[in-house]
Structure 1
Amino acid sequence: MGLTKFGEAVREARRQTKQTLLTMSEALGKSPAFLSAIETGRSKVPMDFVSDIEDFFLSLDYPIESMRLREKAMVANEVAPLDGLNLQHQMLVAGFANSDLNKKQLELFAKLLAEIQLTSTQGKNDNAKSE
C-alpha cells in the first residue's frame, strides 16, 4: 500500500526536520508501527492525533498547515466528520458528497473555496492588527 497524502505530508515533514519514525514516535508516546500504519493508510488517523503531530513539528520550528493536514487526514480516513458543524454546514457537506460534479467543476469549486478561506484569513489578520 502506498502513502496517503496525509502520510506524504508527515513523512516530508519528518525528512525536513531529520526525524525518524522512532524519534517521532518516542516524542509522541506512540509506537513506530502505529506511525507507519497511519502514514501508509493501513490504519485510520485519529483526528485528535493530528493536532499532536502539528504541535510536534511546531516545536521543531516546522509548522505544518493545520487545515491542510486535517483535510488530508479526513481523506485518508475516507470520512468527513459532521459533529460540531451546524445544520447548514452538514447539509452542504452531504450535498457536496452526493453531487456528480465533473473534474472541471471540482477544480472551480476548490479554487472558490481557497479564495474564501484566504479572504477569511486576511479578515482575521486585519481584525487582529486593529485591536
Structure 2
Amino acid sequence: MALTEFGKAVRKARIDTDSTLLTMSQELETTPAFLSGLETGSKKIPQKWVKKIDSYFSSKGVHLEKLEELAAVANETVPIDGLSQQQQMLVAGFAKSQFTPEQLKSFAELLQKINNKEV
C-alpha cells in the first residue's frame, strides 16, 4: 500500500532520527503494526496519535510541518467542531467548489500570506 503524505512525513522523520517502527512503537507504547497502519493509510489517524507522534519527534529535535493537516487529508476528513458557523460554512463551500488548479494555488498563496502576517 502506498504511503500517505502523513506517512511520508512520519517515515522521513523516523529516518532523520534513526528510529525504527519498533523503537518508536516501544517508546509510544503501541505496536509497530499500528504505526505502520497510520503511515500507509490503512488505519485512520486518531487526533491523540497526531499529538503523540508530534511530541515524539519534537523530543528528538524534529518539527513536522502541518502534521494535523496531513492527518486530516489521510483520513479524508476535516474536523469542523470548535469552528464558528462562518468558518464551517467556508469549509463546506470550499470543499464543494469547482476551482481550477491555478485558482487553488492563488488561494493557498493568499492563505500563507495572511498566516505569515499573523506571526
TM-score computed with the length of structure 1 as normaliser: 0.88
Question: Runs in 1 of length 4+ with deviation above 3 angstroms?
Answer: none
Deviation (angstroms), 1:61: 1.3
Give the number of equivalent residue pairs.
119
Q: Which amino acid aligns with 1:5?
A: E
Structure 2 match to 1:38 = 38
Higher helix share: 1
2:77 and 2:63 mapped to 1: Cα distance?
25
Structure 2 match to 1:22 = 22
Q: Which amino acid aligns with 2:103?
A: Q
Structure 2 match to 1:117 = 115
Identity %: 51
Give CA deviations for 1:10-45 in whole Å, capped at 9, x if unaligned: 000000000000011111111100000010000111
Q: For the aligned residues, what is the CA RMSD? A: 0.8
TM-score computed with the length of structure 2 as normaliser: 0.97
1:3 and 1:69 mapped to 2: Cα distance?
14
Q: Which amino acid aligns with 1:120?
A: E
Deviation (angstroms), 1:58: 0.9
Deviation (angstroms), 1:49: 1.1
Structure 2 match to 1:64 = 64
**Which consecutive unaligned segments of at least 5 residues does structure 1 have?**
122-131
Deviation (angstroms), 1:47: 1.4
